[in-house]
Structure 1
């Protein structure tokens, strides 16, 4: 009998992720990971704030999917699940890109809503981080949207997706990321977050989470900065403790360095150097709001959630 091999694709606003697993045969419990890779597509760059996917980003997306297609053929994949989130959800030409991807690769992309995205992120994080019975705040900072979930190991108490992702924040508060972000822009971003995140503030007061769990993206970068080097996808442990002092150190550096020096910091992917500034402000805002001192990062997010759900 042939093994079933599944490809899970998460088309985010910054990064496209591909996970290929061999599904467990009779008598086995866990799927076997064959490949875990990602491509920085920056789908939101140059257009997300205007509600369109820019031409260059559109081409990068098709190119990334063609690369994924090759990997899938190489690994003899039998089934595919592909989801797309914020950028394709809100862009006028999102449906057109979905059609082009299907025409060129045969991959059918499902555009999912923010609530569903939050649910899948939570399911993925639970595979990586032991949550136990206490309430935790799970946060996923995408390029287009940010998901907040208050949950424990078994229950989601509250969840919400906000269209305030890092690319949008960059466009709005840091239009020239080649320099240093001004104190004024930091204050403006925090004011903006306070107005947008009122529902979160209310939920935090009600459920009082004891820790912050950051999924993928910016949180992986902060964990790499703590380590002082960039780790590959395959090297990332499912869960990393992010020391609060280390976060504060990284955040302080990001605020005062210009782009060229930011992107040379040990542990930073050059394409994240600018987004990490606005993401750092968002994380700092949430820490101020909650008084939380424990941060963990989860290398698992949406695609692992999808896999967990399917199994």
Structure 2
């Protein structure tokens, strides 16, 4: 007998807000399948407020309310039976986050939970990441967001260690990542990967997904360090306007894609990784799966 449930996840990031609606297909005697039904992304750059003025502006509070009303209506139309809304780095650091959460709950009936970097990394790890992990390999999972980057090291298909750093694309654009943060990242990656013969990177985030799509490679094929480095140099040679007109990048992607690549390239260099895999997973996928399996 076939049964289909619909779950949704709202991811309130530093660069954008996302609504993922997923079909969960259950069939007796078969593995449960998670199929993306709809993904809506709204480029409200909350990190620009939070990291520069320390709070979410009135304009962006209004935009958040409008987005949440739209998300709620979409979930109603899709007959979503269960959902969660999580906010990450920008909302963690905004002085008025509690006020914003209360306003949104009052006007949209959607409750937002602000999560720390460790919980964010744990939720992402509850995706289908385990299907990529081979027992005889070591992987460094890197999730680059607008406000922070989460690193998780896996060996023998088990999580060894993870850490979150305040180094994200929006922070980098605003020159708010201090040199000591880069130093801490380098030391953490170097120390934790030192005794492994070979490390393979797994990357997640909108920017690395865009780079992978631009490569034209088939899913499950890796990108090399040399390819990533050449793309970094090429994109850096173009103006912001050229990246939009010639490469058809979204306006909110054309600027953050370069600092994102800088983080991935440094992670590869410091860990000695020669390849990076880019599976279609992220926080939204992790929220749905964690809800389904009762982990959150």
TM-score of the aligned structures, taking structure 1 as reference length = 0.82
Whether 2:199 is the aligned partner of 1:210: answer: yes
Q: Distance in 2 between matches of 1:152 and 1:49?
A: 38
The structural deviation recorded for 1:167 is 0.5
Tell me which residue corresponds to 1:107.
110
Cα distance change, pair 74–151 in 1 and its aligned pair in 2 (3 A): same
Tell me which residue corresponds to 2:134.
132
- 1:227 pairs, out of 190, 205, 216, with 216
Tell me which residue corresponds to 1:39.
42
TM-score of the aligned structures, taking structure 2 as reference length = 0.86
Q: How does 1:189-200 map to 2 (within 5 A)?
A: 193-200=182-189
- Where does structure 1 lack aligned partners over 5 or more consecutive residues? 174-187, 229-236
Tell me which residue corresponds to 1:306.
287
Cα distance change, pair 132–255 in 1 and its aligned pair in 2 (3 A): same
Q: Secondary structure at the match of 2:100?
A: helix
Greater fraction of residues in strand: 2
- Where does structure 2 lack aligned partners over 5 or more consecutive residues? none
Q: Distance in 1 between matches of 2:180 and 2:241?
A: 28
Q: Distance in 2 between matches of 1:291 and 1:238?
A: 23
Q: Distance in 2 between matches of 1:39 and 1:278?
A: 20
Given that residues 126 and 153 in structure 1 are in contact (C-alpha distance below 8 angstroms), is that contact kept between their aligned partners in structure 2? no
Q: Distance in 2 between matches of 1:32 and 1:214?
A: 21
Given that residues 40 and 271 in structure 1 are in contact (C-alpha distance below 8 angstroms), is that contact kept between their aligned partners in structure 2? yes
- 1:297 pairs, out of 278, 292, 296, with 278
The structural deviation recorded for 1:253 is 1.6
The structural deviation recorded for 1:59 is 2.8
Measured against aligned partners, the alpha-carbon deviations of 1:110-135 in whole angstroms (never above 9, x if no partner) come to: 111111111112222516x6111111
The structural deviation recorded for 1:213 is 0.7
Q: Distance in 1 between matches of 2:215 and 2:120?
A: 28
Tell me which residue corresponds to 1:7.
8
Once the two structures are overlaid, the 10-residue window that deviates more, 159-168 or 259-268, is 259-268
Measured against aligned partners, the alpha-carbon deviations of 1:67-99 in whole angstroms (never above 9, x if no partner) come to: 211211110112111111111111111112211
